[in-house]
Chains A and B, each alone.
Chain A
Amino acid sequence: MIKDKVLVRCVVNGKEVAEYVDPRESLLDMLRNRLGLTSVKKGCEVGECGACTVIIDGETIDSCIYLAVWAEGKNIRTLEGLEKNGDLTRIQEAFIEEGAIQCGFCTPGFVMSATVLLERGEVLTREAIKKHMSGNLCRCTGYQNIVNAVEKVMLEQQETEGV
């Protein structure tokens, strides 16, 4: 029987964090319940919907199927860490402009997946964008506008680099 908690030290949204966690606890629970990062949504809890997507060491991970103890030494980013001085990132603005938000439950997960993709600086076809976003489900089925938003920012980045 697990009785003892384990100390986990990691960086969350740029800040060093040290928390005693239960070895049975998911990273999702740690982020929501211990750190109050409620952008990380609890959806399917079996790694299918992507609502709990966070970025760990530059890769998107479903935090529901990731034990909190595995976060030791990792660099974790959630939606809360994106804004700078109250300003949204370009992809967040593009989600608003393109109407890529309906009920909003899937949005933080989609934004995190899009963020990793856009930070790579690649220019991809619409099909390739869809593939990169395929681990996130939108129950309102607002996929077209989500892909539009990602494509828009991707093309903007390309133009800026071209200048």
Chain B
Amino acid sequence: MYDIENYYNASTIEEAVRLLKEHPDTRVISGGSDVLIKIREGKMAGTSLVSIRDIKELNGITKKENGDIYIGAGTTFSHITNDPVIQENIPVLGEAVDQVGGPQIRNIGTIGGNICNGAVSADSAPTVFSLNALLRIEDGNNGRTVPIRDFYLGPGRVDLKRGEILTHVIIPAKEYQGYHGNYIKYSMRKAMDIATLSCSVVSKVNTEKNILEDVRITFGVAAPVPFRCEKTEAALKGQEISEKLYEMTEQSIRQEINPRDSWRASREFRMQIGGEIAKRALKRTIELAGGDRK
């Protein structure tokens, strides 16, 4: 038996907003793979829950006419990986969330939960950052849309007020069309482990495929929140694709990231791995784009 004080079930967004406002001591539960475990461990014991599992609008993935992709916050990791829209347009996101936990967790955990719990190690986060995603938040009135970068406030803290629900992760067409992505998770085990360090690179090459036109590099576990390497991005943009570019990436990343010591890995180790995985991920995105034909 879980130590749950009260349990409310919402079947619409409006109902969820109302329940959250009426009961200020509640927490949202969706997949449950974080919340139930925290209740079991005692960290959230005695909490009251508002379930948003039965809200149909939160489920599934649609591509709008303008090319924007709307991912329902309640869509599970395995459904994202197997979704044709994702596979065709942003395969990197499907590959990234295919590295969460194990198969059973991926069948229950949701992208919305992964983002809203604010964990820096979340496997979806670096890619969602590198895709410049927008988050649609409903509050029963007009709601708001925020860039993912403004959403993470600190470890385990996100910009979600009482009575607000994340409904969709939006990947705007201009942020993914013409781009290729790659996510590398470095962890001690191949499954059922969280990232020691992770990096997602999304890049675009010119038509001649010899110049890196645009690049976005985001790290998980290199700072208290997912971290965009803006300095390195600026330095790499417009550079010719060559071995020199990859060396430059590796050096620049080690200057820019500022990971911490933890029982999982030392700062020095994360610096070493960081340069390496950013370089490898960038190289892979360029290969996917048809550049780097050596």
Chain A residues within CB distance 8 Å of chain B: 1-2, 22-26, 29, 45-48, 50, 53, 59-62, 65-67, 69-70, 113, 131-137
Contact = CB atoms under 8 A, between A and B. Distances in A.
Interface in B42-75: 53
A61 B108 contact: yes
A160 to B, nearest CB: 25
Interface residue tally on B, bucketed by range? 20 to 34
A133 B2 CA distance: 27
A55 B133 CA distance: 33
A23 B7 contact: yes
B40 A62 contact: no
Given A2-B7, A47-B33, A65-B32, A26 B103 contact: no
B7 A24 contact: yes
Interface of B: 1-7, 9, 32-33, 36-37, 40-41, 53, 78, 101-105, 107-108, 190-192
Contact of B2 (A26, A113, A131, A137): A26
Given A67-B32, A134-B103, A62 B1 contact: no
B1 to A, nearest CB: 5
A61 B3 contact: no
Given A47-B105, A50-B102, 4 more contacts: A45-B40, A65-B33, A66-B32, A134-B191
Given A26-B2, A62-B108, A66-B32, A134 B7 contact: no
Contacts of A137: 192
B1 A29 contact: yes
Contact of A24 (B3, B78, B102): B3
A53 B4 contact: no
A134 B191 CA distance: 6
Given A24-B3, A29-B1, A46-B40, A60 B103 contact: yes
Given A47-B37, A47-B104, A60-B103, A24 B191 contact: no
A2 B105 contact: no
A62 B32 CA distance: 11
Contacts of B41: 46
